[in-house]
Structure formats: C-alpha cells, structure tokens
C-alpha cells in the first residue's frame, strides 16, 4: 500500500510538471541535449536483444567445457529471462502507448500534454508510458533480484536513462515515472513466478537439477527448454 501511495504521489507530481518541464527542455542548452542523447541509447531494446541473442548463440555453439552445469544453467536462465522481460514488457507498453494515445512533447506547441487520442495509432501519439523507462525499470528489478548489493546502482542507471528521455524531448516526466513503475512491477511479478517454478533462483541459491548438455544441438535444446520453462511458469495457474 505504501508503494502504491508513493507511486500515485509521484505520478501526480509528474503530471503537474509535465508542461513546464517540456517547455524548459525546448530551451535547454545544447550540451544538455547532447548529454541526454548519449545516455538515452542505453534503454534501446534493439541492441539489448542483439547482445542477448549473441550470448545464446555463443552458449549453444561454443560453451567452454570449464563452465560447470550449474553456472551454465544460471547464465542461460538469466539470458532468456532478460530476453523475455524485454519482449513481454515491450508488448505491454506498446499496448498502453497506443491505448492512451498521448502526444509526444514535440507537439506541445499545438497540443496540451493532457490531450489523448485513445487507439488512434497516429504517429508521435505514443508518449505514455515511456518504453525506454519500462525496459530499464524491468532490468533494474532483475538486477536487484540477482545482485542485491548493487540494487541502488541499477536503480540509478534506470533513473538516469529515464531522465534522459525527458531531456531529449521524447517524453514527459509522468511518462518516465509510469514506465519505470510498469517495468518494475511486471518484472517482479515475472520473477516471482519464475522463482516459484525453479526457472529463476535467487542469487547464491542452489539450482534445481541442472540438465545442461554439450554440443550445438544440446545447447539449442537447452535454450528452448529454458524459454519454455519460463513461459509456462508465467501463464500456469497459481492454484494448480
């Protein structure tokens, strides 16, 4: 309840400052816009997906024999979990973006930041919530789950990327707040389901029945099993 209250207050503050912040950003110095542009790419899902796919291919084709079965399974579970987090939170945020149909800050001179065109599917009418922030919120929650000591670093990185989306005039503050919260909530829900099913154990906890094999064919099979296990865990009824 406390978290919900804090989120509601933060979102209300975000809505209150959306217009003045967007106007201030339009008059921001060039160095600040350039700094934001150099940071915001961190939240892009295309390069994240490429890295994760590369890791899976390396795992399948050239996994070192020195890597133990338990460590290999943990690496594989984390990689497939990251991929599914990016994919599923991305689908969710796109539905919400077009569902709300909020114009991006670039249209502020002609439109109010509170103008909505639900499911209009118009270009640049997909500001709320921020996709970059949703991704970073999800990954920050995953990082905090796997590396509790570094949770504040993960949170700081997510916040910086979110702020950069405002600086480059792609989103309003409320878009970022909603995106970070959406990503974190979805990530925590997914992680809880995975942990209960043994598809994503806590850092430092023993893994259940490592089934990692050797060779490309076995590696690809391991990848498909990890994806399947995690997907089934998400949609399996909690009452069974």
**pLDDT tens-place string over residues 142-158:** 999 988 999 999 999 99
> What is the model's pLDDT at position 85?
93
The whole-angstrom separation of Cα 49 and Cα 45 is 6
Examine the pLDDT at 205 and tell me if it is beyond 50.
no
Give the best-scoring range by mean pLDDT among 30-44, 101-115, 222-236.
Answer: 30-44
Examine the pLDDT at 159 and tell me if it is beyond 80.
yes
The whole-angstrom separation of Cα 49 and Cα 84 is 10
CATH 1.20.144 fits 2-235, yes or no: yes
Hunting for tokens 């509170």 — which residue is that? Answer: 114
pLDDT digits (tens, 9 = 90+) for 4-56: 888 889 999 999 999 899 889 988 898 998 999 999 998 888 888 888 888 88
Q: For residue 3, name the pLDDT band (cuts at 50, 70, 90).
A: confident
The whole-angstrom separation of Cα 51 and Cα 60 is 14
The whole-angstrom separation of Cα 237 and Cα 240 is 6
> What is the model's pLDDT at position 7?
87
End-to-end CA distance of the chain: 28
> What is the model's pLDDT at position 78?
87
- pTM > 0.75: yes or no: yes
The domain limits of the chain are 2-235
> What is the model's pLDDT at position 216?
65
Q: Kindly give, in sequence order, each residue whose CB lies less than 8 Å from that of residue 145, ignoring residues fewer than 6 positions away.
A: 191, 200, 202, 203
Q: Which tokens go with 46?
A: 């295309």
> What is the model's pLDDT at position 191?
92
Q: Apex CA 142: angle with CA 140 and CA 148, to 5°?
A: 85
Mean pLDDT of 210-233: 74
Task: Compute CA distances 203 → 13, 145, 156, 185, 200, whole Å.
Answer: 36, 7, 21, 20, 9
The whole-angstrom separation of Cα 177 and Cα 98 is 18
The whole-angstrom separation of Cα 161 and Cα 119 is 27
Residue in 88, 90, 91, 205 with CA at minimum distance from that of residue 145: 205
Task: Compute CA distances 91 → 68, 123, 181, 182, 225, whole Å.
Answer: 35, 18, 16, 12, 22
Question: 163: burial class by Cβ within 10 Å (0-12, 13-18, 19+)?
Answer: middle
Region of poorest pLDDT, from 68-82, 87-101, 113-127, 162-176: 68-82
């Amino acid at each position: 309840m406390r978290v919900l209250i804090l989120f509601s207050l933060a979102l209300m503050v975000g809505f209150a400052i959306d217009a003045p912040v967007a106007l201030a950003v339009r008059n921001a110095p060039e160095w600040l816009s350039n700094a934001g542009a150099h940071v915001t790419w961190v939240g892009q899902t295309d390069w994240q997906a490429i890295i994760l796919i590369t890791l899976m291919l390396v795992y399948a084709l050239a996994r070192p024999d020195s890597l133990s079965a338990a460590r290999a399974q943990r690496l594989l579970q984390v990689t497939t979990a990251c991929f599914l987090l990016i994919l599923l939170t991305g689908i969710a945020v796109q539905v919400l973006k077009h569902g709300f149909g909020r114009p991006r800050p670039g249209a502020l001179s002609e439109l109010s930041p509170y103008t909505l065109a639900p499911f209009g599917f118009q270009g640049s009418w997909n500001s709320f919530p921020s996709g970059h922030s949703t991704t970073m919120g999800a990954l920050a929650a995953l990082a905090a789950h796997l590396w509790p000591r570094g949770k504040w670093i993960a949170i700081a990185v997510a916040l910086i990327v979110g702020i950069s989306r405002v600086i480059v005039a792609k989103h309003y503050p409320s878009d970022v707040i909603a995106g970070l919260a959406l990503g974190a909530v979805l990530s925590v829900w997914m992680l809880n389901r995975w942990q209960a099913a043994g598809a994503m154990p806590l850092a430092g906890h023993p893994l259940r029945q490592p089934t990692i094999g050797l060779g490309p064919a076995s590696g690809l099979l391991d990848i498909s099993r990890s994806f399947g296990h995690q997907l089934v865990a998400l949609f399996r009824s909690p009452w069974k």
